[in-house]
Structure 1
């Protein structure tokens, strides 16, 4: 049987087609697990996160407007990791060095407030020129390929590459004190 596109699977999912959900589950389980495990470093916690994300996809199937399934699921998994950390540390803010560092697996992440980091990143992205910002968001948030971005914005692939380079350079310069931690957002 020929593999269906994500778009076709999403259409079937919106119609409560369980076989479409099963296909999405099998297609993305390992990728999502790798994202979660890379941050949480425990099998059970990573499995819980992936189950949460995929269960939410089924429950919210009619209300979601997903254009790029892979990007959506990866982003949802990243946010679910932070929800998982919050559940595991209900009485400990993320600045509790011993526990947070074990969970986040990023050097000195225990001294950063995730929400402030995300807000600061958002402010810097907002300062990018419009086309540059759109290219960056399509690439990093939606995980579009350079070719897909070029088609969507009617640009050449070289122009897309130039905008990405410009955006990353801007963010590296403006966020140099926290840039190593931003890999989680990309």
Structure 2
């Protein structure tokens, strides 16, 4: 039933219904905050991330095509966390092999270091072709089966499998220096 309510809220949101936006805000704020705080461990930074995501939802309400509100907001929050980490750690790029090696060889990797690895993964996922990226995110982040993805995206299951294979091949190639350590995220 919640999905039906979300669909109705999204339709109202697209019509600039402030009450619908307020309902979405109250329904998802705590969940999004938990996602952001779990990765950042800084209260104010996590609050900033949630504000950014929810404000963007309102600003972009006319152009967004959202099928699953909770999944969209969770993914948007993860990407906003990556941007926040980049702002907090601007002088330590993740494309430096020495930084990455230090992170993965240290058995006591800090939570923030783990987030930096996730950020690099997020950048590579964002670089996938649109359908390939969506299939990958539905599969890995939303835990949809291939059959559910095929139905949601109006694709055959074979096409879904092909997109997943392409995404994983791309990620293995682009993240070959840290792929063994990120494979549990995929």
TM-score norm. by structure 2 comes to 0.64
Match of 2:106 in 1: none
Match of 1:106 in 2: 114
CA 1:59–1:153 in structure 2 vs 1: closer, same or farther (change >3 Å)? closer
List 4+ stretches of structure 1 deviating above 4 A. Answer: 100-103, 112-117, 131-135, 152-156, 162-177
Match of 1:67 in 2: 67
Superposed counterparts of 1:1-186, under 5 Å: 4-90=4-90, 92-94=91-93, 104-106=112-114, 109=116, 114-115=119-120, 118-119=123-124, 135-140=135-140, 143=142, 145-146=144-145, 148-151=148-151, 152-153=153-154, 177-179=177-179, 180-181=181-182
The alpha-carbon deviation at position 149 of structure 1 amounts to 2.1
Measure the CA separation in 2 of the matches of 1:34 and 1:182: 24
SS, match of residue 37 in structure 2: helix
The alpha-carbon deviation at position 89 of structure 1 amounts to 2.8
* Alpha-carbon displacement from aligned partner over 1:131-183 (angstroms, at most 9, x marks no partner): 99875443236x26326325355768xx89x8899789868976675243366
Instruction: Judge conservation of contact 2:9–2:24 (CA < 8 Å) in 1.
Output: yes
* Alpha-carbon displacement from aligned partner over 1:12-40 (angstroms, at most 9, x marks no partner): 00111111112211222222112111210
SS, match of residue 149 in structure 1: helix
Measure the CA separation in 1 of the matches of 2:134 and 2:78: 21
Instruction: Judge conservation of contact 1:132–1:166 (CA < 8 Å) in 2.
Output: no
Measure the CA separation in 1 of the matches of 2:13 and 2:67: 13
The alpha-carbon deviation at position 94 of structure 1 amounts to 3.5
Structure 2 stretches of 5 or more lacking a match? 104-108
The alpha-carbon deviation at position 70 of structure 1 amounts to 1.7
Root-mean-square deviation (CA, aligned residues, Å) is 4.1
Structure 1 stretches of 5 or more lacking a match? none
SS, match of residue 46 in structure 2: helix
